[in-house]
Amino acid sequence: MKRNQKGFSALQVLLILVVVGLVGFVGWHVWHQNTKTSTAPKVPQTSTKPGASNKNVKPPAPKYGIIKGQASYPSEGLPADEEICAQNINVSSAAPICVNVGKAPTTNYTYTLELPVADYYVYAQTAKLPNYKAYYDEFSKCGNSVNCPAAGHKQYIKVTVTAGAVVQNVDPGDWYANVTQ
């Protein structure tokens, strides 16, 4: 090769093309990997090994609890429109949450209400007695007997619903509050 020759030899051109192509491919590959990971949602890693735990991943706390009890009505059976309702006592503007028990296919008249965590007053209602609420109160808890103190009609029992818990034996049924007052 002469020192006065201008330009590149074929071997030099080939070597330059290989280097430029390699740098271009590596740059594209790095760019592509960064775009894939930056747009993919980040999911916490969990272990599939038995007995292994991941302390960074916690299940969400339940925000609901359950009230269970039995409905009643002072006659043979329940009116078809009888409902058991729970009224949030901390939020006066909240609508009551109700379940129909009068159309229940069984004769044991049990009910279940799944409710957000809060404090509630529970009552039964029917169109047969408009504007009347038969509360779960001290009178109904006493057994709705003439031997129960009359003051129990106005002593509503606060039912506290906690996350994931079941409150049993909430039996609203003070259908006599207006009779004895």
**33 within some domain:** no
120 vs 19, more confident: 120
pLDDT tens readout for residues 74-103: 888 899 999 999 999 999 899 999 999 988
Return the CATH number at 138.
Answer: 2.60.40.1120
Whether 144 is covered by a domain: the verdict is yes
Sign of the C-alpha dihedral computed for residues 16, 18, 19 and 24 taken in this order: positive
Q: Choose among 137, 122, 121, 118: nearest CA to 176.
A: 137
Q: How confident is the model at residue 165 (pLDDT cuts 50, 70, 90)?
A: very high
CA separation, residue 155 to residues 68, 126, 140, 141 (Å): 20, 21, 10, 10
Q: Tell me, what DSSP letter sits at residue 6?
A: -
Domain total for the chain? 1
Tell me whether residue 79 is in a domain: yes
Distance separating alpha carbons of residues 92 and 115, to the nearest angstrom: 16
Domain-located, residue 84: yes
The answer as to whether 119 is a domain residue is yes
> Please, what sign has the CA dihedral across residues 18, 24, 27, 28?
negative
Neighbours of 72 (CB within 10 A): 19
Residue 54 within a domain: no
Nearest to 102 by CA among 129, 121, 137, 67: 129
Mean pLDDT of 7-23: 73
Which residue type, as a one-letter code, is found at position 99? V
- 154 occurs within a structural domain: yes
Tens-place pLDDT, residues 102-146: 887 666 789 999 999 999 999 999 998 988 999 999 999 888 888
Can you tell me the distance from the alpha carbon of 71 to that of 113, in angstroms, rounded to the nearest whole number? 12
For residue 48, tell me if it sits in a domain: no
Domain carrying residue 117: 64-167
- pLDDT mean over 51-69: 73
Q: Is the pLDDT of residue 31 over 80?
A: no
